[in-house]
């Protein structure tokens, strides 16, 4: 019920504007387009095209498609209004009902138009999609560059505080795999804008697959395990340049980096209990080792936010720099590191890290399995709903 509520809140957030988009232009289109009518064949083609869309068009578009489809095939909404707790069906009913007495032919035409615009917009944004060698511009959520012996992977959703959406998880894995094979000596992860990263994108929780929330949680655990695994196995020196606040998984992963340089503006926050969740990124193992069990519990269980200075004192951060000179000082240092013999660095990292690898993979698997259960809990669902409905922030 909580997840249905969540989907409904999202639909509700989008619906006020989307209903205007549905009802107002639909009527206009009807007036302007008496001569342009989509045939039944066009309509059927559009229905098939929807199934072939390479990307999920999002809940707002799906609600519009649903409403137009129902209007085109059954006419005005004559179903009883779903009960107040039947949240998803109520959002669908609202969308359909908002079409009023729009004629079937117009709804059919609008459906065809909508599918056509979705196909072209999603098609064009997926031209840079998977498969071949991605260059910097081939990423949607990252900027990846390679120069002076350094591959820099920059999280690039500054307007969302570099929250990690599903695409970003995949792109980071792709970029790390490419960096492990390229001719750079070291690899750097950093953030664009004022944040390093605000952690997992909480809207990841809203896209529920046909198998429901259980399938969603299972897929999330698989993705997380693979994602963290890439950091455990990364063979070259991996350095975090923490340009601003870091939250959640962007903090826990730092225990798997080989050096962490932070601006004095950065903070380190893992509010897992607040979110009804539990630690990941192997932090249940690395943090107690790095900073003592008691300090790790303050962070991972009680959600204590550390300043950069405190994180450095606890051993999570290697060195802190004043924000005004941060970029200059850090990159000068990194360029010097990148001139060291790459094979020697690789082999030294291997000998330091390898004996822990098996343990880290086991910890990762266990953390993912615990989180899978947490994502289905009321505590977690309520926390996500509260954030998405703007009732809470960290």
Ligand X SMILES: CCCCC/C=C/C(=O)SCCNC(=O)CCNC(=O)[C@H](O)C(C)(C)COP(=O)(O)OP(=O)(O)OC[C@H]1O[C@@H](n2cnc3c(N)ncnc32)[C@H](O)[C@@H]1OP(=O)(O)O
Contact (Cβ atoms closer than 8 angstroms) between residue 88 and residue 8: yes
Q: What are phi and psi of 11, to 5 degrees?
A: -60, -40
Q: What number of other Cβ atoms are within 10 A of residue 59's Cβ?
A: 21
DSSP annotation string for 82-114: PPTT-HHHHHHHHHHHTTTT--HHHHHHHHHHH
Contact pick of 161, 236, 265, 295 for ligand X (by CB under 6 A):
161
- Going by C-alpha positions, the residue among 283, 323, 317 that lies closest to residue 303 is 283
Contact pick of 88, 288, 387, 389 for ligand X (by CB under 6 A):
387
Hey, which bits of the chain come out as E strands? 142-147, 150-155, 186-191, 238-242, 246-247, 259-263, 267-269, 306-307, 319-321
- Going by C-alpha positions, the residue among 264, 389, 249 that lies closest to residue 324 is 264
Nearest distance in Å: CB 267, ligand X = 10
253 touches ligand X by CB under 6 A = no
- Going by C-alpha positions, the residue among 23, 21, 7 that lies closest to residue 76 is 23
Residues 343-382 that bind ligand X (CB under 6 A): none
Q: Mask of contacts with ligand X, 179-198, x by CB under 6 A?
A: -------------------x
Contact pick of 248, 260, 380, 385 for ligand X (by CB under 6 A):
248
60 touches ligand X by CB under 6 A = no
247 touches ligand X by CB under 6 A = yes
Residues 72-101 that bind ligand X (CB under 6 A): none
- Specify the stretch interacting with ligand X by CB under 6 A; choose among 61-69, 108-116, 143-151, 200-208: 200-208
Two tokens, residue 76: 């005005």
The residues, ordered by sequence, that sit 6+ positions from 266 with a Cβ below 8 Å of its Cβ are 196, 242, 243, 244, 245, 246, 308, 311, 317, 320
314 secondary structure, DSSP code: T
Side by side, the strands of the sheet bearing 267-269 are 246-247, 267-269, 306-307
Instruction: Select the residue whose beta carbon is closest to ligand X and give its number.
Output: 248
Q: What number of other Cβ atoms are within 10 A of residue 175's Cβ?
A: 25
Q: Which is nearer to ligand X, 18 or 204 (CB)?
A: 204
Contact pick of 57, 138, 199, 244 for ligand X (by CB under 6 A):
199
Nearest distance in Å: CB 305, ligand X = 10
Nearest distance in Å: CB 151, ligand X = 23
Q: Which is nearer to ligand X, 6 or 77 (CB)?
A: 6
Q: Which is nearer to ligand X, 27 or 208 (CB)?
A: 208
224 touches ligand X by CB under 6 A = yes
Residues 260-319 that bind ligand X (CB under 6 A): 275, 277, 280
DSSP annotation string for 336-384: HHTTS-HHHHHHHHHHHHHHHHHHHHHHHHHHHHHHHHHTTSHHHHHHH
How many residues make contact with ligand X (CB under 6 A)? Answer: 22
320 touches ligand X by CB under 6 A = no
Q: Which is nearer to ligand X, 113 or 201 (CB)?
A: 201
Q: Which is nearer to ligand X, 87 or 221 (CB)?
A: 221
244 touches ligand X by CB under 6 A = no
255 touches ligand X by CB under 6 A = no
Q: Residue numbers of the site for ligand X (CB under 6 A)?
A: 160-161, 163, 198-204, 220, 223-224, 247-249, 275, 277, 280, 387, 393-394
């Amino acid at each position: 019920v909580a997840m249905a509520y969540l989907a409904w809140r999202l639909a509700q957030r989008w619906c006020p504007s989307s209903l205007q988009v549905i009802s107002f232009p639909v009527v206009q289109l009807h007036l302007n387009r008496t001569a342009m009518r989509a045939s039944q064949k066009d309509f059927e083609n559009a229905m098939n095209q929807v199934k072939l869309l390479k990307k999920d068009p999002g809940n707002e578009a799906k609600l519009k498609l649903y409403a137009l489809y129902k209007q085109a095939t059954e006419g005005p909404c004559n179903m009883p209004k779903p009960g107040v707790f039947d949240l998803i069906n109520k959002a669908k009913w609202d969308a359909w009902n908002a079409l009023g007495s729009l004629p079937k032919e117009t709804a059919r035409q609008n459906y065809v138009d909508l599918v056509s615009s979705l196909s072209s917009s999603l098609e064009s944004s997926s031209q840079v999609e998977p498969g071949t060698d991605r260059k910097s511009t081939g990423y949607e959520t990252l900027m990846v560059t390679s120069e002076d012996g350094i591959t820099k992977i920059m999280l690039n959703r500054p307007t969302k505080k570099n929250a990690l959406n599903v695409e970003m998880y995949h792109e980071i894995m792709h970029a790390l795999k490419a960096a492990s094979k390229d001719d750079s000596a070291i690899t750097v992860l950093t953030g664009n804008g004022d944040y390093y990263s605000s952690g997992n994108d909480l809207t990841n929780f809203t896209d529920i697959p046909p198998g429901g929330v259980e399938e969603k949680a299972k897929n999330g655990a698989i993705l997380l395990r693979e994602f963290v695994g890439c950091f455990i196995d990364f063979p070259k020196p991996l350095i975090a340049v923490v340009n601003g606040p870091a939250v959640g998984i962007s903090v826990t992963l730092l225990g798997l980096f080989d050096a962490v340089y932070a601006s004095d503006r950065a903070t380190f926050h893992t509010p897992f209990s607040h979110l009804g969740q539990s630690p990941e990124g192997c932090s249940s193992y690395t943090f107690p080792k790095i900073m003592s069990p008691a300090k790790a519990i303050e962070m991972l269980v009680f959600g204590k936010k550390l300043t950069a200075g405190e994180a450095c004192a606890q051993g999570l951060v290697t060195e802190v720099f004043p924000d005004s000179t941060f970029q200059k000082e850090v990159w000068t240092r990194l360029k010097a590191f990148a001139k060291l013999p790459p094979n020697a660095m690789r082999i030294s990292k291997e000998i330091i890290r390898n004996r822990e690898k098996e343990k880290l993979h086991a910890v990762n698997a266990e953390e993912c399995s615990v989180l899978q259960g947490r994502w289905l809990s009321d505590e977690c669902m309520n926390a996500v709903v509260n954030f998405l409905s703007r009732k809470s922030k960290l």
